[in-house]
């Protein structure tokens, strides 16, 4: 897996900005029904589609509908599918299939980013998917992995959200994982056993905050720049 520091930094920055309504030079897309919110950012060489994470009571209502439904060619979490469907047609109007596109988000925003990538898989040749603290989106029975070359799920230590919903759902097998361990070592695609051992079988909501992801990613990229890789594969 190739880690692009520019793309990681850009994804982290916009995943944080998505919680702010005052984003200059961006197109805000929002559903009054579901409160699902996304921003489309048009740059000269790249487009960015970023989804806001859980923020309102309506968001939690859709988070808690875990039964699987067919969506984007796969079986996925019904609440996430409903939230995504509420703004997809408007987002689709802004997609340039001939331009490099970054899709990103934190928490619920990461799940919606993953569904967007699934919708575009096979249709868009230059997609980058980067998520932070993303819950499990797809049903374990889904046999159709995405064929994107650039898929990264960033997980911070014992972030509880990255392990829910648990029943019949799991991390996407087609997405690479950058794991920031509680012990300070960073891993690429660590085993399930290693992650369980690292968190001591505990979940923490505090590890879910986007500020924590930014702090760990900044340190990780600084170590990479200085030759202190700190990465165990």
pLDDT value for 1: 65
Percent of the chain, pLDDT > 90? 51
**Per-residue pLDDT averaged across 163-189, rounded?**
84
All structural domains of the chain:
5-20+45-232 (3.40.50.1820)
For 94-115, the pLDDT digits (tens) are 999 999 999 999 999 999 999 9
pLDDT at 233 over 50: no
Total residue length of the chain: 233
For 118-129, the pLDDT digits (tens) are 999 989 989 999
pLDDT value for 63: 56
Q: How many CA atoms lie within 13 A of 194 on its CB side?
A: 15
Among 54-58, 68-72, 136-140, the range scoring the smallest mean pLDDT is: 54-58
CB atoms within 10 A of CB 181: 21
pTM of the model: 0.91
Kindly give, in sequence order, each residue whose CB lies less than 8 Å from that of residue 36, ignoring residues fewer than 6 positions away.
Answer: 30, 51, 52, 59, 62, 83, 84, 86, 87, 112
Q: Bigger pLDDT: 150 or 29?
A: 29
Question: Which backbone phi and psi does 61 adopt, to 5 degrees?
Answer: -60, -40
Q: Bigger pLDDT: 7 or 61?
A: 7
**Is the CA virtual torsion 47, 53, 58, 60 positive or negative?**
positive
> In 75-208, where does DSSP find H-type helix?
78-92, 108-120, 192-199
pLDDT at 143 over 60: no
Q: How many CA atoms lie within 13 A of 210 on its CB side?
A: 25
Closest CA to 62 of 38, 89, 32, 35: 35
For 200-220, the pLDDT digits (tens) are 767 777 889 999 999 999 999
């Amino acid at each position: 897996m190739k880690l692009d520091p520019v793309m990681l930094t850009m994804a982290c920055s916009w995943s944080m900005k998505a919680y702010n309504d005052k984003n200059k030079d961006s197109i805000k897309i929002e559903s009054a029904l579901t409160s699902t919110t996304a921003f489309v950012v048009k740059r000269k060489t790249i487009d960015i589609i970023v989804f806001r994470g859980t923020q309102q009571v309506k968001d939690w209502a859709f988070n808690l509908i875990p039964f699987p439904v067919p969506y984007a060619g796969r079986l996925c979490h019904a609440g996430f599918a409903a939230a995504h469907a509420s703004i997809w047609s408007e987002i689709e109007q802004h997609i340039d299939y001939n331009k490099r596109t970054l899709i990103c988000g934190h928490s619920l925003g990461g799940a919606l980013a993953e569904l967007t990538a699934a919708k575009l898989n096979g249709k868009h040749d230059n997609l980058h998917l980067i998520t932070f603290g993303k819950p499990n989106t797809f049903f374990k029975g889904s046999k159709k992995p995405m064929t994107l070359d650039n898929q990264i799920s960033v997980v911070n230590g014992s972030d509880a959200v990255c392990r829910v919903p648990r029943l019949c759902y799991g991390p996407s097998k087609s997405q690479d994982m950058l794991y920031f361990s509680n012990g300070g070592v960073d891993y690429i695609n660590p085993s399930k056993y290693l992650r369980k051992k690292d968190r001591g079988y505990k979940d923490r909501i505090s590890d879910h905050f986007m500020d924590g992801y930014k702090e760990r990613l900044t340190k990780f990229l600084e170590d990479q720049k200085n030759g202190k890789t700190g990465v165990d594969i």
